[in-house]
């Protein structure tokens, strides 16, 4: 354990490498500005445009996607063991569902939940 800690403390961090690259890029930009102000401005615009283009073209990872819908039933202590009667989309709010459940011991009672979900996920 102590040996692993020593190895981790001796290893350079990614942040340190990023700082070195940022300083080197700043020095290179300062040299370009010293040679020609117009060339320096052009380099800044090209670098900014390239960064925006790269960011827009980069594919989002799946880890940032919303998780797939789980069980369609709402989970609360009150409706545990209830029979699901119906699931209806809420017309005024897109993506919201009205869950109606019936408790087994009270036949004339309906328990209602409004929750987020997909109707066609069943």
Supply the DSSP symbol for 117.
-
Given a cut of 50, the residues of the chain with pLDDT beneath it are 119-122
Check if the beta carbon of residue 80 is closer than 8 Å to that of residue 96.
Answer: no
Supply the DSSP symbol for 118.
-
Report the pLDDT value the prediction gives residue 122, as an integer from 0 to 100: 40
Report the pLDDT value the prediction gives residue 121, as an integer from 0 to 100: 41
Q: What is the pTM of this model?
A: 0.41
Our CA angle for 18, 60, 95, nearest 5°, is 135
Report the pLDDT value the prediction gives residue 75, as an integer from 0 to 100: 65
Mean pLDDT of the chain: 78
- Residue 86, strand partner residues: 100
Report the pLDDT value the prediction gives residue 71, as an integer from 0 to 100: 56
CA pair distance 103, 37, nearest whole angstrom:
77
Strands 96-102 and 111-116: antiparallel
Condensed to tens digits (0 to 9), the pLDDT of residues 48-81 reads: 999 999 988 887 666 665 555 555 566 676 677 7
Domain boundaries of the chain, sorted by first residue: 2-59, 83-121
């Amino acid at each position: 354990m102590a040996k692993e800690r020593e190895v981790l403390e001796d290893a350079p961090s990614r942040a340190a490498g990023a700082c070195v690259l940022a300083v080197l890029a700043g020095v290179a930009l300062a040299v370009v500005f010293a040679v020609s102000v117009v060339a320096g401005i052009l380099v800044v615009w090209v670098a900014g445009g390239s960064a925006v283009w790269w960011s827009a073209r980069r594919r989002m990872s799946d880890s940032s996607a919303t998780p797939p819908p789980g069980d369609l039933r709402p989970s609360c202590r009150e409706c545990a063991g209830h029979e699901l009667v119906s699931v209806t989309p809420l017309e005024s709010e897109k993506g919201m569902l009205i869950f109606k459940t019936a408790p087994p011991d009270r036949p004339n009672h309906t328990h209602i939940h409004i929750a987020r979900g997909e109707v066609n996920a069943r």
